[in-house]
Structure 1
């Protein structure tokens, strides 16, 4: 009984160890969506895109040793790509083993443990019926990537590039250094379709701003006219409220101080003039001496 329990315990331990140390194959995906503990990536490329959380990425890729479907590093802010420095083999039977695209700051490529780098086999595709001149057969491709500039200016970038070239040359059994089958620099301008799209967007924006400008101008003019009308109404009201003197004097005074006769109405309706009385004139006589 004791021996049976011991054997069962040993078998369970072996299964546990096998599960812990065994290989785990995962389909390629965006790196942040990758399962934990993957040791091999196949079917689709392993993609590093945009701003990445370094801690999460390193946890996701720490056990990867073999990548069958290539890697893609797209639009990151990295200066040094070293997430896969422990990976031993990178291949891709459907395209380039490595694609670096639109990384604005990329200068260094660190693949310390890499022993095999191999992209699509050009000769096999030529022998098939689906050969296309536009297909990429290079082991490594840089598309509108900053590394293409750093490679020609900085010694460290050039050294990283040549290390990868040596690995790819041995992997593909090439005799020629820096073969065209190893690398390709692509510098594409924006397509005409995207330019047309931006042109249409700018035209629409211009029309909208013009309409808004006309609308606000119309409101401003309308408000100015309303203010002028209000001012005119206020002036007219002020003039109407000023009192007008309608009384007429009954008699006018002459410069000599005498009054002129005024007309009065009689009961019969006729008017008679009434002379104003003046004080009698006095004659002064000289006093007797």
Structure 2
């Protein structure tokens, strides 16, 4: 934000959008990397995913606090989220127990209903619709822990249908001429993002006694950005806080941050896991017992 304000001379609101968009991590990229490498079953993978979740939750909250309309709609939105966080885990758990496996997928329809309803309230309050989705995921995680089939269906729906349409919309608003015109600024913003992430994450990794390889891997994955970065930039564009040229610049930086740190991390710093985490060991023991019980 400081770099955008005092070096690039962007407006205060545009600088805030830049700061928020480039402070995010990429849950989508990190989740995909963790699953494909098997690190999601290890303690380090779960730690990185949790850290990305907390980071993105913080950036979405910042977006809402800085730009929300403080009126009756915001009050209704906050009240609805509070009620949903208390009630929805019980309702979702009941639906999963009773309806999971039905062809019509009523449990997924329930989730979509909750997300769209709260997302509509968020839009009316000039907040970001992804915030209630994040909070619902947080409180309902326990209910989904033992329903892997539904989790798989949600993942397929998200990555195969919803995510591509979102990125088509976000990408269609990028101006190619603006990107080529701002290549120098894009490179500088990408460097600033990675340096600030390095300063913020790597020392903490060392404080928590990570070895150099694991600390560097964690820092690089925490430097990624994609979905929430583009969401923040699109939020700024649709509400007139940034120009289309600034939007194009930010989205290009965000995409670059999804690719470059991930390639470096996977190529040079991927942790060498030699033992099962306690969680994975428990999962495998449970699977063995179930197999024996079946026999």
Query: Is this a same-fold pair by TM over 0.5?
Result: no
Question: More strand by proportion, 1 or 2?
Answer: 1
Question: More helix by proportion, 1 or 2?
Answer: 2
Q: State the TM-score, normalized to the length of structure 1.
A: 0.28
- Of structures 1 and 2, the larger Rg is shown by 1
